[in-house]
Amino acid sequence: MPAAKQAELVLVHSPLTGDVLWQPVAGALRARGRTVTAPALGGTLDGAGPHYPLLLAAAERQVPPGPGHMPVVLVGHGGAGPLLPALGRRLTRRERGPRTVAGSVYVDAQWPHPGRSWLEAVPADQAAWLRGLAAGGRLPPWDTWYPERELADEVPDPDLRARFRAGLPRAPLAYAEEPAPEAEPDPDRTRTAYLRLSPQYEETAIHAESLGHRVLRRTSHHLSPLTDPEGTADALEKLAVRFTDRAA
């Protein structure tokens, strides 16, 4: 069996979206014979915080003990980026079925900001804009942050768009103000990669590149896991095979 087949892909969606985001890619990868887990974090932000521990516990719970010694490759989209280092640490240290993390792929994702909140990690004008969106201590659903036309252009299928929207939470502003876990990205540059889907994340891709991580760029859009699952799956496999070849 090729080395690429020997890692389980753990597809983590942003806390600001729902697990629908990864479902098409998970289906495409499973059709290729890959083992895939796509944790659903819906409802995790409904209650009181602290929120990062709840998100991490929910994701960890849904990653099963591995068959044999199968490692995992952690994949985070958007706001899931800051979760990956701490999730990897939890998986490797847990008592029930610990897992080896072969690598991590950040997909159009925020770069980890350990010890700092999301609002501290973004420019001051963006932080002020986000605070201005909040009402009653909660942010509106992510799709309302931008003009309606943008979402329709990225996800033209109305049924798919409706399914995606149905899973969007009203995240508490406190989540954006909470310090991220004190877990640094893997210092081994060969075990971390960045998949840039849209030009909006080019600056983050350049940052990852400056640290020595592999960057793969696609000319697409932020929600292309929904609309181009095969192309996204191809890109993930190209990156994952580097991790598993090295570990083999």
pLDDT tens digits for range 45-63: 998 889 999 999 999 999 9
**What is the pLDDT at residue 67?**
62
Alpha-carbon distances of 23 from 26, 97, 212, rounded to whole Å: 5, 25, 30
**Distance (Å, whole) CA 196 – CA 234:** 13
pLDDT in the model for residue 221: 95
Phi, psi (rounded to 5 degrees) for 243: -65, -50
Name the phi and psi angles at 216, rounded to 5. Answer: -115, 125
> What is the structure's pLDDT at 241?
86
Domains of the chain (ranges plus CATH)?
3-247 (3.40.50.1820)
Residue 178 is predicted with a pLDDT of: 97
Which stretches of the chain score pLDDT less than 50? Answer: 1-5, 248
What is the number of other CB atoms lying within 10 angstroms of the CB of residue 137? 9
Q: Identify the residue whose tokens are 């409904």.
A: 46
Residue 110 pLDDT:
96
Residue 1: predicted pLDDT: 36
The C-alpha atoms of residue 245 and residue 44 are separated, in whole angstroms, by 35
* Structural element, H or E, at residue 229: helix 229-247
Give the C-alpha distances (Å, rounded to integers) separating 28 from 24, 78, 119, 167, 188: 6, 20, 35, 21, 29
Determine contact, residues 166/40, Cβ cutoff 8 Å: no
